[in-house]
Structure 1
Amino acid sequence: MAKSGNMGNVFDLGELRRLVDELGSGSREARATMLDAVSAAGKDCECQSCGTEALSFPPVVLATDAVLADAVLRVPLVLDAQRLAAWTGTRQVTPEGLLPDPFLPCAELGLPNPARLHLLWVVAVNTGMIRIVRGVAAAGPLALSAELPAAALLGFWDGVVMDVLDRADESLTGSEVVDDHLAEMLATMYAVSDGLSPATLVKGILQSHEVACETRPAQMRALAVALPAELDGALSLLGYCGLIERSEAGWPRLTPLGMWAVRQDLLREGHDAPTGAEVAVYADLGAAELVDAIMKRSATPSAVTVWLESRVPEAAARELVKIAASGTAGQRGTVGTILEELGPEAEAPLREALTEPAMWRYAASWLHIRDLPAPALTPADSTWIAVDTIASLIHLGNAPEAMCEFGMLEPAEDLVRVVEEMAPVDHPDTIAVLDLLGARHSDAAVAKAARKAAMKARSR
């Protein structure tokens, strides 16, 4: 998504997804209260793998292609771009490919300012309404009409939105702060499709800006005063562009076309943004089939939500524990991720798992995290979990992520000690984990310790 380098900075979208799941069909007021409490995202891991972690968004219901295509032809921005193309006819342009006198078309077409004209010009040229050849602008190959196939109109609309969002580098909305966080704001509105109050959006942007830019208190106070009016102007511009509308309560939300376009951008960036129909198929899978689909990357995190919602938590946990107890590290890691979504209502099967040799440490940790009675874990148990966690990522083909996971275990000076403690660990993948660290770890001392520990493990 354009201007998405700060993705996640308006709100912690992972936390936002959890809140949306918890709130379900709760009142708009309840959602606003909870969402106001969402803080800006914390600092990400610096490794390349973790820095590109995909976000998971709630499933959405999109309008049909026919309805969306019909709506494209009524977007004010699109209508004005058509008017500009007709007005231009055949006309000389500057060496930069722009109209020499921007005030003339503004006056004749009733446009508010040259900035609006520039946006229309970029859209008209980039989508093919206008073609520039040897310094002359003329009618392009694209002629919009209701006769075009829906797929063609939606492809056109996708290009329009990319052009609009790319203009955030050139003061699209008139607010530098909103432009800096535009992509994240739209993604946040996508996650809460029934709308967010302007106050919630303002608070989220302010929190993000303060954290990301380390803004001084005096600057934050001034921004807090100015931002509500700036956001109002930005939302008005986004409405003109066909992305934002007002809900019945008067809250800004994405239009059906906005939902479709933001989803396209999220998918391009590798995020999990399914439709309801895409994830519904996972509800009837068995636990083993779900785990296998996740390991093969054919199922996304949203599939887990749908699967769990279709089952009693205790029954779902019992199915999953059975797989983890007898499976590989990769299966245990996958099951562990799913079990994280369950609360204390799944206590019974996790307590039963305390008798399973390959699962009891995870079960104890799961119980501890939820403040439920559980056996204490020793340092040796923590080392076993570290080996199993890295092994699970190797099984899933995520060696770079495994390296990042290991790097987060301890301060750099303690990693050598951790490696040495892995050598005697009774785990089928100990040697594979040590071989990976020995071959791939960037710290020479850690890599050397890993190779030495692997030799000890083999001799054992």
Structure 2
Amino acid sequence: MSAEPHPTLPPVRLPSDAELARDALVAPLFARAVRLARWAGPATRVDVGGELASDQLPEAAEALGLDAADEDAPVYASQAWRVAVDTGLVDVTEPEEDSGDGGEPEYGTATPGEDLALVAGGAPGDVLDLWLAALDTVLADAAVPELDDLVDALDAGGEIDFDRLDWNPQREADFLDGVLANLYLLTVAEGGAGEGPVPLPVLAASMIVPDEMGDPTDAVLEQVSDAMMRLDDQFRQLEPIGLVEYRPVDEALLAEEDDLGDAGAADSSGGPGPEDDEDVSRYGMVRLTPLGLYGVRARMLEAGVEAPAVGELADKGAEALLDAVSRYPGGAAQAEIEQWLAGRSLPDAVAELLAAARGDDEGAPLRRLRCQQALAPAGPEAEPAMRAVLDDPELGGLARVWLAEHGVTGVPAPDGAMVFWLTVDTIAAQLAADGETEELPQLMSSLTEHHAGFFEQVWRVDHPSTAYVLEAMGRLHPDKKASKEARKAAFKARSRQA
């Protein structure tokens, strides 16, 4: 996969390999490929390239249970055969080149491949590997121009004029990869589509309209419209392999727009205008299936893209866990932590998490915040480990918060130095997790109101982020006087650190 996706992909939640393998086996195109592999035998004849002999296509369609009266049945059989050959479900021996003596045409042979046994007797991962190979074939086919375009590009000698066709195979493959990467991101991002479908105009616009562009020009809208039509055809081809669920563009809508001479009818996102919001589904709706998420992620991983999945850290240490989830959105981070905790005894897990939360590096405050979130639902078994770190300068405040929230009595109050250290650590973690949110100024205001002489004391806190936090308070504090005091305190903190 050569498309360039979002630089920091959120983790995806996937079903088990066994569930995904079951989905792969019932994907219509893959299931047909398996049936044809089992059907192949001594009487099967293939042409050069491993394609079924044309006069055998009706027989293959019958083996698939397709209606012989359906003019598309041979096409479906041909597609399924190509997938079977490309995935190794079928082994073919191609015919020798035609001698040109005018005799009977030579044919090759086909037999079930060794990999066919993996469908029934292999592990789920084996089935998924076969499905990924099938997906590669379908994606390659989807990037090929439509037959009408190929016919229009024939020159006088019956050869395809690629200059007239304006088709670059790598460019087309990259475009489709980019579309799938964007659809993946829209699916896994917090606040994104989730399990819901994405309107085709939105997806097309994500590939065409520059982020910095306000209202798209007519030329850009025309590109979006062209991309929608191309994607409409491609998603129709990708649905049978189980990659997507797709509601095609309403052909009646296309006829209406042709009659009006207005193929654009799009807003700044490339989609239908406000008056057409209720009919947005008529422009096409697409979503990645769980199997599709697995497939797109596998292709991105193969291309060297970091595309995490929830649960893959379950056998890693606490330090790897906290470092990773510090970059995750809140919901995904909690899900990953819960799976990590599920495989460990709670006292050992708590002690390991607390040890991993220590540190004075830039990422340490956020690690401690994630650690605190991870331990929030822990029960009484966590109390001994929490009490053990009460005197720890980096973890004592965190432990006291947990013990107080769980109603534990007899916990010594923190001294002033620990209170201010925890304040700096908490704000640094919030800035690292969510940036300068609307809630942060309110938190800052509350802190300064409840601590007399806050800025006179906080700049002395021995925390690597003290100056950074005070500079943020200078920008964000809603009170101008406090904001000015924060900037002065930040200067003192910087001087002290120097």
Q: TM-score, normalised by structure 1?
A: 0.42
Q: TM-score, normalised by structure 2?
A: 0.39
